């Protein structure tokens, strides 16, 4: 019972900080997404692939990267001329609102920012429980992972607004059934907006980027009315 | 500080139970492996593919499956005539020694068992810290995941005795560099024994199964001397 009580307190405190983060980002008209997936599903590649499309739509954005160690992902993103901040979590298997709170001074110093992409630690379990203050959580799953993932890791699919089925170029070489993956995901969360994408071929990335751009523009315009 | 103290206490208690599990399994001459990976790296497929080879070597084995929900994996394994017990962890992102302790009566009721394969929850972070009482931890990573994974999730590679680079059949369609993945893994843990396998083509599975069989036979013979 003690363990559960402590966990509830930690989550309650996390939610308070997340609400403050959300408020701070909203006041500046910045749309925030929390990108989650298992390790290696292609979150960083997706960000890299989206860059050109977001720039085409004049969406100025920054990236906060969460990893246990190293700054590999931040460096990859920066190569595309996108500002990126690396957070290392050490032994923690997810980002939390407190870590994002500490990144906000860096985020907010960028003038005219319309979008903040937070790339969480690769983990299909714990990030589902930790609100960061984002506007939407986006789960990425790859066709190399198995189409039963939504049924085996339901919490993260239930907590997400958007699902990107990534690496569609690999589907012909795996047993992954995209139709079945969609069905399984919608069983867990009937409100999921689902995209299919391949960062290698570029298929579907433009459509996904356009969707995110639209959300960011809508938030900005709501703020200005 | 409180949080850390509580975590230390939880881990200390876990280690005590793990030691008791190890003792109970050793008394029966059962070799135990803890199979860890990110979701969808192919742990269950690897178990399925190994079955024939382990049977060829007269290795009687059972499987304990860890998942958040459902019994998909236990059912897959049982189809091959292998006894399988499903543990569902609910919101917990890893198995722990206590959960395995509860599965031991089921494990030990199987006469002549030489090998216990524990398939952990798909997660590259937390399972590294929770000893289950196994003889060796085996990390599975797939060529669809990125060859930098050992550097980004070092704890799990450091805690493992064996690494299986799985889905080698997909490598030609990805940017995954097997040589680089090996280098990165050995940077984190120079003692890692590394196998390459493809459950689709069967390449390398026999060699990996033979290695595990040998460990199980050695443990059994040590017990009998």
CATH number reported for the structural domain that contains residue A98 in this entry: 3.40.50.300
A11 touches chain B (CB under 8 A): no
Cβ of B152 and A126 within 8 Å?
A: no
Beta carbons of A205 and A56 less than 8 angstroms apart:
no
Cβ of B155 and A68 within 8 Å?
A: yes
Who among B10, B39, B152 is closest to A145 (CB)? B39
B151 touches chain A (CB under 8 A): yes
Interface-testing mutation among A1, A14, A144, A157, with chain B (most B C-beta atoms within 10 A): A144
Q: What is the pLDDT of residue A6?
A: 72
Cβ of B173 and A174 within 8 Å?
A: no
B181 touches chain A (CB under 8 A): no
Q: What is the pLDDT of residue B22?
A: 97
Whether residue B62 is predicted with pLDDT greater than 60 in this model: the reply is yes
DSSP notation for B7-63: HHHHHHHHHHHHHHHHHHHHHTT-EEEEEEESTTSSHHHHHHHHHHHHHHTT--EEE
User: What order of strands is seen across the sheet that includes strand A31-37?
Assistant: A84-88, A61-67, A115-119, A31-37, A136-142, A162-166, A193-196
Whether residue B127 is predicted with pLDDT greater than 90 in this model: the reply is yes
Q: What is the pLDDT of residue A1?
A: 40
Beta carbons of A197 and A46 less than 8 angstroms apart:
yes
Closest CA to B120 of B166, B167, B87, B158: B87
Q: Distance (Å) from the C-alpha of residue B24 to the closest C-alpha of chain A? A: 27
B56 touches chain A (CB under 8 A): no
Cβ of B124 and A39 within 8 Å?
A: yes
CB atoms within 10 A of CB B187: 12
Q: Which residues of chain A have pLDDT under 70?
A: 1-4, 225
Confidence of residue B1 (pLDDT cuts 50, 70, 90): very low
Sequence-distant (6+) residues with CB within 8 A of A148 are A184, B72
Q: Work out the mean pLDDT of chain B and round it to a whole number.
A: 95
Beta carbons of A188 and A158 less than 8 angstroms apart:
yes
Cβ of A40 and B129 within 8 Å?
A: no
Q: Distance (Å) from the C-alpha of residue A167 to the closest C-alpha of chain B? A: 9
A155 touches chain B (CB under 8 A): yes
DSSP notation for A110-172: STT--EEEEE--S-SSGGGG---S-SEEEEEEETTS-TTHHHHSHHHHHH-SEEEEE-GGGGG
Helix (H) or strand (E) holding A17: helix A2-27
B54-87 in b/e form (b: 16+ CB < 10 A) is beeeebbbbbbbbbbbbeebbebbbeeebbbbbb
Closest CA to B101 of B14, B193, B163, B198: B14
Chain B, nearest residue to A41 by Cα: B145
Q: What is the pLDDT of residue B4?
A: 61
Residues of A with Cβ-Cβ distance to B69 under 8 angstroms: 151-152, 154
Q: Distance (Å) from the C-alpha of residue A183 to the closest C-alpha of chain B? A: 16
Cα–Cα distance, B108 to B196 (Å, whole number): 32
Interface-testing mutation among B39, B124, B174, with chain A (most A C-beta atoms within 10 A): B39
DSSP notation for A31-69: EEEEEEESTTSSHHHHHHHHHHHHHHTT--EEEEEEESS
Who among A72, A121, A145 is closest to B40 (CB)? A145
Residues of A with Cβ-Cβ distance to B174 under 8 angstroms: 170
| Interface predicted TM-score (ipTM) | 0.86
Q: Which residues pair with B165 in a beta bridge?
A: B141, B196
Confidence of residue B151 (pLDDT cuts 50, 70, 90): very high
Cβ under 8 Å to A: B residues 193-222: none
Beta strands A193-196 and A162-166 are parallel
- Note down the domain range covering B154: 2-224
CB atoms within 10 A of CB A36: 31
Domains identified in chain A, total number: 1
Q: Distance (Å) from the C-alpha of residue A27 to the closest C-alpha of chain B? A: 33
B43 touches chain A (CB under 8 A): no
Whether residue B168 is predicted with pLDDT greater than 70 in this model: the reply is yes
Q: What percent of chain B has pLDDT over 70?
A: 97
Residues of A with Cβ-Cβ distance to B43 under 8 angstroms: none
Q: What is the pLDDT of residue A3?
A: 57
Please give the interface size between A and B, counted as residue pairs whose CB atoms are below 8 Å apart.
Answer: 113
Cβ under 8 Å to A: B residues 70-109: 70, 72-73, 91-93
Cα–Cα distance, B88 to B105 (Å, whole number): 17
Residues of A with Cβ-Cβ distance to B153 under 8 angstroms: 39, 68, 122
Distance of CA B10 to the CA centre of its chain: 22
């Amino acid at each position: 019972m003690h363990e559960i009580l402590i966990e509830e307190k930690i989550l309650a405190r996390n939610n308070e900080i997340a609400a403050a983060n959300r408020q701070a980002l909203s006041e500046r008209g910045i749309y925030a997404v929390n990108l989650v997936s298992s390790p290696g599903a292609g979150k960083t590649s997706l960000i890299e692939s989206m860059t050109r499309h977001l720039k085409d739509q004049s969406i100025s954005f920054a990236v906060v990267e969460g990893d246990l160690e190293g700054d590999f992902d931040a460096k990859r993103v920066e190569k595309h001329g996108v500002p990126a901040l690396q957070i290392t979590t050490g032994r923690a298997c997810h980002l939390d609102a407190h870590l994002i709170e500490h990144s906000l001074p860096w985020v907010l110093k960028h003038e005219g920012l319309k979008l903040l992409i937070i790339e969480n630690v690769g983990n299909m379990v714990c990030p589902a429980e930790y609100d960061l203050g984002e506007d939407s959580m986006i789960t990425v799953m790859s066709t190399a992972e198995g189409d039963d993932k939504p049924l085996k890791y339901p919490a993260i699919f239930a907590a997400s607004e958007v699902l990107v089925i990534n690496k569609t170029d690999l589907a012909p070489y795996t047993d992954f059934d995209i139709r079945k993956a969609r069905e399984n995901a919608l069983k867990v969360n009937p409100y999921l907006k689902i995209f299919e994408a391949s960062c290698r071929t570029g298929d579907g990335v433009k459509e996904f980027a356009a969707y995110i751009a639209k959300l960011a523009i809508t938030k900005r315009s709501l703020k200005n009315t």
